[in-house]
A = this chain, B = another copy of it.
Amino acid sequence: MTPSVPPASAATRLYHYPLSPFCRKVRLTLGEKRIEVELVEERYWEKDPEFLRRNPAGQVPVLRIGGRMLADSQAICEYLDEVFPQPPLMPRDPDARYEVRRLCAWFDGKFHAEVTRKLMGERVFKKLMGGGAPPDSAAVKAGARDIKTHLAYMTQLLEIRRWLAGNDLTLADFAAAAQLSVLDYVSDVPWHQFETVKDWYAKVKSRPAFRSILADQVPGFRPARHYADLDF
């Protein structure tokens, strides 16, 4: 069995990219559980052979922990929650666990495809990865429209719950905050039209686990002025 407390000597290392929402979800989970981690920036789209050896899927995040290399943000986060159960980020009841997983899939899959990939993918990652293709303005427009549908859906949930999946903070909150935080870096979230979601985000943002994310800087893209402000 894997030990249930992080051994102090373990060189835990996360291969990540600062504006990747999936890496941020893992960083938030590690932070919440107070697991010390060394961050190694990985320009994963350059397909460095050494990196591909660590993760044949060629994606970040990759977490080195206890001598193993782990990939896929959801698999990593559930693993961390099972091995380091305090504080819990998954409820115990199967119905409640289902709801957390449904919402993680919602933000990792649907929100990412409909919003993050369209707004960040077109305007930021296309530039970072080079190649010189201009942003697809129809995609950007669709992303700017669809983020409102998602924020309205989050409002519905947060009007009847303290956190997204229920009355406790869970992985679902981190999955959602990870997506929104990268969009917030480039000022793409219309917070003032969605006060309920803004209040929820302020709560997530004020957790110690969020600090390293608020300190992220990507050369060529300055964060929005309010990005690191807890009282935005």
Contact = CB atoms under 8 A, between A and B. Distances in A.
Nearest to A105: B72
A95 B78 contact: no
A83 B98 CA distance: 11
Given A57-B106, A75-B102, A68 B82 contact: no
Interface residues of A, number: 28
A166 B116 CA distance: 35
**How many copies of this kind of chain does the complex include?**
2
Contacts of A82: 94, 97
A2 interface: yes
A70 interface: yes
A75 B108 CA distance: 13
A219 interface: no
B74 A83 contact: no
Contact of A70 (B78, B98, B110, B153): B98
Interface centre among A68, A70, A75, A78 (most CB of B within 10 A): A75
A113 B113 CA distance: 12
A1 interface: yes
A94 B83 contact: yes
Interface string A77-117: 01100110000000001110110011011100110000000
A71 interface: yes
7 tightest Cβ-Cβ pairs between the two chains A and B: A75-B101, A82-B94, A79-B98, A72-B105, A75-B102, A72-B102, A83-B94
Given A71-B102, A72-B106, 5 more contacts: A57-B110, A75-B98, A75-B101, A79-B95, A79-B98
